[in-house]
A and B are shown apart, each in its own frame.
Chain A
Amino acid sequence: MTTDEIFAVVRRNLLEVLPELTESQITLDHSMRDLGANSIDRMDVVIATQDDLGVRVPAETLTRANDLRSLVAVLSEHV
């Protein structure tokens, strides 16, 4: 699975959790916090994304991802 495809899954789950966002607002340079996701929103996105991708990433690894680019990178290591 390419990083583009992983990013698409992250973006789709972000839009589901934060329906106020538009797709063009979500870039790899943003963090979920930048986009208005609070801690529980971020957990919802990460959990749904892992479920979609069929992966389990240790929580401590995920917390080190501080923008969407690094989140996608962490996820791609486990796909």
Chain B
Amino acid sequence: MSAGVPDRPVPAVAVTAAAVLGPLGDRLADFTAALLAGRSAVTLPAGADPSGTPDGMVLPVAALGPFGVAEWAERHLPDDPERAALLRRVAGRAALPARTAACVALRALADAGLAPPGRAVEPAVAGDTALLVAGSNLALAHQADTVLGHQRAPGRLRASYALTHLDVDVVGAVSEVTGVRSEGWAVGGASASGSIALLQGARMVAAGWAERVLVVAPVAELSPVEAEAFRRTGAMAYEALRAEPARMCRPFDRDRQGFVRGEGAAAVVLERPAAARARGAEILAEVAGYGQRLDARRGTEPDSGGQVAAMRAALASAGLAADQVDYVNAHGTGSVLGDRTEADSLLEVFGARPSLRINSTKPLTGHCLSAAGLVEAVAVIAQLRAGACHPNPNLARPLDPRLPLVGTRAERHPLRTALTNSFAFGGINASVVLRLPEAAGPAAVPSPDPVLS
């Protein structure tokens, strides 16, 4: 046990909805099928402006593409014109983070059985539901566009930018479209934001601060400036394999060259298991433990000590030994130094146990930055329920033969307990333990069998 707060076992918290919105799908079943098929959303955007890049090389991205709430509402709310109109009115013109967050939050509440079509969320439910939004500095492209627009035409600056540049615009938009009105705020932890929001939401439920918590990770945008700065840190893939962009993000492969940005949003509903059972809600999974540790070092370099401490804290709070974990969703961005460091941390915590599976979802989804932790928590839940691990299609030459990595094919594997990692600039390490509920068996979700031969 490391220094700091003792890692006492914590009460498990039920996940009663797990929603996603991204290029691999905007329904859990579609997302699960895409993952198990090993489909990568990474492309080199055609028509992107290469002028900001010194060598004219546009960056690969797993992009959401043009996203409008009206089109989303047509597909997800066909029987609910009032809610669709509310969504369009509140979020239709908002920046991408608020638009995606509002939609994925509505999907999660509906999947949790809390937002029946044609009826508002029950006032008692709305009043008892807190909201955590994962991420900070979310609308960076909107900010850059506004600054450049202001230089060109100062007279046109919208008064509403006073609101739309703030992360809390997402809190307000989600709160209005869902009606949720207990506590709420934005949780900032860079690339660990999604995992930190998830664990803080679980703590809020466990501590009784809220009856349930809606945790929402909006799509995090970058302006060309942040994207280029990331590239200049040396952490991004862009040079090799440009003819085959789906192969560019290569976690734990010897030929990895860096991370590829992804655009994805996710939302989950958390509540006490007894409360979920009492209202007849299906418990998809449980948040069984969590740990967060700082490296006490400013910067961008990973630190194995902090990673190991976060993972051990998560296991201790779940009351688990390392050999009880079946699956690890690594942070695994495909960065040269980051993957090597995480590999060392994983070997230290788990040893080289062949029954464990270690994997990264980022070759498929890209690195969703502040949303990554929550998008990947949903991916973990999908795999636990499918009883199968998705492939890492780009793992041609594993960087360390001792690591029990999932290979280039999907794999049926007995899965009950998983640990998911998110590590961030600023020396922030977060790990969350997810597991299937006691009574449930795996394989509740039909899997596309052809890829699971």
Footprint of B on A, CB under 8 Å?
17-20, 36, 40-41, 43-44, 47-48, 50-51
Which B residue sits closest to A40, measured CB to CB?
B160
Residues of the A chain whose Cβ atoms lie less than 8 Å from the Cβ of B92: 19-20
Determine the distance from Cα of A51 to Cα of B156 in the docked complex, in whole angstroms. 6
Interface check B88, CB cutoff 8 A:
yes
Q: Cβ of A47 and Cβ of B157 under 8 Å apart?
A: yes
Contacting B160 at CB < 8 Å: which of A19, A41, A50? Answer: A41
Q: For the side of the interface on B, what is the size category?
A: 10 to 19
Residues of the A chain whose Cβ atoms lie less than 8 Å from the Cβ of B162: 40
Q: Cβ of B155 and Cβ of A51 under 8 Å apart?
A: yes
Interface check B402, CB cutoff 8 A:
no
Which A residue sits closest to B159, measured CB to CB?
A43
B residues 126-181 touching A (CB-CB < 8 Å): 153, 155-160, 162-163
Q: Cβ of B88 and Cβ of A19 under 8 Å apart?
A: yes
Determine the distance from Cα of A5 to Cα of B298 in the docked complex, in whole angstroms. 58
Determine the distance from Cα of A36 to Cα of B92 in the docked complex, in whole angstroms. 14
Q: List 25 A-B contacts (CB under 8 A).
A: A17-B93, A18-B89, A19-B92, A20-B85, A20-B88, A20-B89, A36-B89, A40-B159, A40-B160, A40-B162, A43-B158, A43-B159, A43-B160, A44-B158, A44-B159, A44-B160, A47-B155, A47-B156, A47-B157, A47-B158, A48-B156, A48-B158, A50-B155, A51-B155, A51-B156
CB distance from B177 to the nearest CB of A (A): 14
Given contacts A20-B92, A40-B162, A43-B158, list 7 more A-B pairs with CB under 8 A: A19-B88, A43-B159, A47-B156, A47-B158, A47-B159, A48-B158, A51-B155
Footprint of A on B, CB under 8 Å?
85, 88-89, 92-93, 153, 155-160, 162-163
Determine the distance from Cα of A50 to Cα of B158 in the docked complex, in whole angstroms. 12
Residues of the B chain whose Cβ atoms lie less than 8 Å from the Cβ of A51: 153, 155-156
Determine the distance from Cα of A17 to Cα of B156 in the docked complex, in whole angstroms. 13
CB distance from B308 to the nearest CB of A (A): 48
Residues of the A chain whose Cβ atoms lie less than 8 Å from the Cβ of B153: 51
Residues of the A chain whose Cβ atoms lie less than 8 Å from the Cβ of B155: 47, 50-51
Determine the distance from Cα of A73 to Cα of B163 in the docked complex, in whole angstroms. 30
Residues of the B chain whose Cβ atoms lie less than 8 Å from the Cβ of A44: 158-160
CB distance from B115 to the nearest CB of A (A): 21
Determine the distance from Cα of A40 to Cα of B159 in the docked complex, in whole angstroms. 6
Determine the distance from Cα of A22 to Cα of B155 in the docked complex, in whole angstroms. 26
CB distance from A78 to the nearest CB of B (A): 14
Determine the distance from Cα of A20 to Cα of B92 in the docked complex, in whole angstroms. 9
Q: Cβ of B163 and Cβ of A40 under 8 Å apart?
A: yes
Which A residue sits closest to B155, measured CB to CB?
A51
CB distance from B125 to the nearest CB of A (A): 26
Residues of the A chain whose Cβ atoms lie less than 8 Å from the Cβ of B156: 47-48, 51
Which A residue sits closest to B163, measured CB to CB?
A40
Which B residue sits closest to A18, measured CB to CB?
B89
Residues of the B chain whose Cβ atoms lie less than 8 Å from the Cβ of A47: 155-159
Residues of the B chain whose Cβ atoms lie less than 8 Å from the Cβ of A43: 158-160
Determine the distance from Cα of A31 to Cα of B216 in the docked complex, in whole angstroms. 36
Q: Cβ of A19 and Cβ of B158 under 8 Å apart?
A: no
CB distance from A71 to the nearest CB of B (A): 16
CB distance from A41 to the nearest CB of B (A): 7
CB distance from A9 to the nearest CB of B (A): 13
CB distance from A19 to the nearest CB of B (A): 6
